[in-house]
Structure 1
Amino acid sequence: MAWRTDDLLGAPFERASLGPATLVRLPSSPAEVAAARAVVLHVHGYNDYFFQAHLARELAAAGYLFHAVDLRAAGRSLRPGELPHYVTDLREQATDIAAAAAVLRTAFPHLPLVVHAHSTGGLTASLWAHAHRHATGTAAGPDALVLNSPFLDLPGSALARAVGTPVLDRLALVRPQTTLSHGPSWYATALLRANGGAWDFDTALKRPQGVPARAGWLRAVRRAQARVASGLAIGCPVLFAASTASSHDGPDNPLVGSTDTVLDADQITALAPRLGRDVTVLRIAGGVHDLSLSADGPRRAYLDGMLDWLAAHLSAHPGAGTGAGTGAGSRTATEERPA
């Protein structure tokens, strides 16, 4: 691949084209590759892209080779004339995950592959992992899957979701680009350092004004969520992480910095056992929607919980620096970490 310095994060981060997607990496020395525990692929969510340099450095310091993929029509991969994040089938973006995973398995065939996926990326990665659970070689699914507040269900009442989905199906077939909702993301607004938050990001790629939710995209999401609700059989261990609390996304919400204001954390957590046979649930007190962007205490709890889980579950893998296996039997364990 033709790697060059990433113009968003700057050196040492590098990027390379991956068809309609973009692969980003934090380069590693030969000694770091030789001692690595695993290679990590990060997958972003909706109205998002990879900018979490601190996450990359945290994982690298713990012995992981870090990469991220900006999916088609998102972040670094957004082309002129494209509607941001717009796809009509999440399998389109799953193809990008598969392409990135194949590159990493080719480059590091001796290492286990960890996929760390957030929000809509977590939904897409879950379906990809399920679909590739029996594949081998460079087409194989992950050896471990970390889901950071995955978009497994729409917030709101079951009645509203049940009534709205058939209407959405009909609309998406005839007018797929119809905007169903569009408003500011107070969550993104609060994260931005210029607004008093802790993070810097490109506001053309993660927009405080939000990205319209269009009928075709939302239909794709609802179809994917229906597959999760019916039960998946992801073959690798899964860490499902979410905040312990949710609240509304609004400028007057004093809890915007300590709760999930995008999804209903309890609602998505209830679906965690349907992902596979080996699922660990990690709830983070004080966590926001992207747990890796939480305040210092909750963020540390999330990172430590993830690293502890990875160390335990990769310890028996033949290529891992400290070893993990996929576990055996059906189990769902739950842990809550205070900030």
Structure 2
Amino acid sequence: MSRPRPRRRWEPDILGEGFDQLTLDLPGGRVTTLVRYTPSDPPSGPTPGPTADVLYVHGWSDYFFQTELARYWAGQGARFFAVDLHNYGRSLRPGEEPGYVRDLSDYDADLDAALQAMGQNAADARPLILLGHSTGGLTLAVWAHRNPGRAAALILNSPWLEFQATELARRVISPLVSLEAQHHPRRPLPPVDPGIYTRTVSAAFGGEWQYDTEWRPVRGFPVTVAFLHAVFSAQATVAAGLHLQLPVLVLLSDNSYLHPRWSEDAARSDVVLDVNVVAHRSLSLGSTVSVDRIPDAMHDVFLSAPAVRARAYNAITRWGSGYLRALPHFGKARLPEG
């Protein structure tokens, strides 16, 4: 008879003061990791308790390290959480293939475990705000479609809702990718990332941010046929219309720079997605969708230049003052510092 696994406990996180992590076991021996932020200097004076939970999901070849984003939400009176999905970041174990997945619904177990640990299964659970970046935004969009009523709002940061080469190209390529995924799911595709995005972001190349390059490599993880098939399948679901019955905010840059050579324009553009294609596809999400184009934003809007990030936070605050009824004092708190 096998012994039950010991109960996991919250431990200090690599991000430092105020951040803790919890390892959550998944079927098949995999794990996912939940990160929470608890401010060490809550606002002085009487304040209401947290009135909403925010769950952030990262994108491809990424993990959670956006401390400023956590502080913004804490400043709005929300409890902030982020998840490193299995095979990513804190959840990546020796011998595992980084980022490998065959269907984005495989992350349902990660999300269910995270939400349970957050107390979202309780009868008195706080309203849930989902926040996803890039592939994480696509993952959360289709998850919300399959789980109506569980989230109160959805915020997408440059979500990968459509193939860069348009829907027609995806529909032409998709059957070939699907067939190959059945027989050779782990076959790598030719690399397409020249490292331009890393150059715009990483402090090692003149950017602003420091992070673990094992978890966020310079040229990204190798893209497998299985991963591309998973993305194409989810994008087809979005294109058919998700009919989400919750307010959705999509944050996008006002410009794309999809060229293989470096230019200063890359630091003021989305170098991953065709933002015009994504803006159009966003209308397939539901009946209440707001698209806010942030001038000079990068692919991860919240890694852009400070003034650009401030515009993005203000965009959420403006939108939230109308749609986030769960936060009656939303927008009255300070913006993040540092």
- Aligning the two structures, in what range does the TM-score lie when normalised by the shorter sequence? 0.7 to 0.9
Q: CA deviation at 1:37?
A: 3.4
Across the aligned residues of Structure 1 and Structure 2, the Cα RMSD in angstroms comes to 2.2
Unmatched runs of 5 consecutive residues or more in structure 1: 135-140, 324-339
- What amino acid is aligned across from residue 25 of structure 1 in structure 2? R
TM-score in terms of structure 2 length: 0.87
CA distance in structure 1 between the partners assigned to 2:153 and 2:81 by the alignment = 15
| Paired residue total | 314
Relative distance call for 1:249 and 1:85 in structure 2 (3 A) is farther
Q: Is the 8 A contact 1:186 1:249 kept in 2?
A: no
- 3-state SS in 1 of match to 2:189: strand
Q: Is the 8 A contact 1:13 1:26 kept in 2?
A: yes
Q: Is the 8 A contact 1:117 1:146 kept in 2?
A: yes
CA distance in structure 2 between the partners assigned to 1:184 and 1:298 by the alignment = 25
- What amino acid is aligned across from residue 140 of structure 2 in structure 1? A
Q: Is the 8 A contact 2:196 2:261 kept in 1?
A: yes
Match of 1:25 among 21, 25, 36: 36
Q: CA deviation at 1:18?
A: 1.8
- 3-state SS in 2 of match to 1:145: strand
Q: Could you tell me which residue of structure 1 aligns to residue 144 of structure 2?
A: 129
Is structure 2 residue 180 aligned with structure 1 residue 175?
A: no
CA distance in structure 2 between the partners assigned to 1:297 and 1:250 by the alignment = 27
CA distance in structure 2 between the partners assigned to 1:99 and 1:308 by the alignment = 31
Match of 2:131 among 102, 105, 116: 116
Q: Could you tell me which residue of structure 2 aligns to residue 156 of structure 1?
A: 165
What per-residue deviation string (whole Å, max 9, x for no partner) do you get for residues 11-32 of structure 1?
Answer: 2210001222100001258x88
Q: Is the 8 A contact 2:199 2:206 kept in 1?
A: no
Match of 1:88 among 102, 106, 120: 102
Q: CA deviation at 1:157?
A: 4.4
Is structure 2 residue 23 aligned with structure 1 residue 9?
A: no
**More relative contact order in 1 or in 2 (CA 8 Å, sep 6+)?**
2
What per-residue deviation string (whole Å, max 9, x for no partner) do you get for residues 85-142 of structure 1?
Answer: 11001001133123212332147935211111000000010011111104xxxxxx21
- 3-state SS in 2 of match to 1:239: strand
- 3-state SS in 2 of match to 1:17: strand
CA distance in structure 2 between the partners assigned to 1:103 and 1:133 by the alignment = 20
CA distance in structure 1 between the partners assigned to 2:122 and 2:209 by the alignment = 32
CA distance in structure 2 between the partners assigned to 1:170 and 1:21 by the alignment = 29
TM-score in terms of structure 1 length: 0.87
Map 1:225-304 → 2, pairs under 5 A: 225-304=235-314
- 3-state SS in 2 of match to 1:111: coil
Map 1:292-331 → 2, pairs under 5 A: 292-315=302-325, 317=326, 320-322=327-329
Match of 1:59 among 66, 73, 80: 73
What per-residue deviation string (whole Å, max 9, x for no partner) do you get for residues 310-329 of structure 1?
Answer: 232122x4xx4448xxxxxx
Q: CA deviation at 1:156?
A: 1.5
Relative distance call for 1:146 and 1:123 in structure 2 (3 A) is same
What per-residue deviation string (whole Å, max 9, x for no partner) do you get for residues 141-184 of structure 1?
Answer: 21111000111111124453333211111111111111113244
Q: CA deviation at 1:254?
A: 2.0
CA distance in structure 2 between the partners assigned to 1:158 and 1:24 by the alignment = 35
CA distance in structure 2 between the partners assigned to 1:77 and 1:150 by the alignment = 22
Match of 2:57 among 23, 43, 56: 43
CA distance in structure 2 between the partners assigned to 1:67 and 1:158 by the alignment = 33
Q: CA deviation at 1:292?
A: 0.5
CA distance in structure 2 between the partners assigned to 1:284 and 1:103 by the alignment = 34
Q: CA deviation at 1:35?
A: 2.6
Q: Is the 8 A contact 1:22 1:71 kept in 2?
A: yes
Unmatched runs of 5 consecutive residues or more in structure 2: 1-7, 26-30, 331-338
- What amino acid is aligned across from residue 236 of structure 1 in structure 2? L
Q: Is the 8 A contact 1:117 1:150 kept in 2?
A: yes
CA distance in structure 1 between the partners assigned to 2:185 and 2:305 by the alignment = 38
Q: CA deviation at 1:260?
A: 0.4
Q: CA deviation at 1:53?
A: 0.5
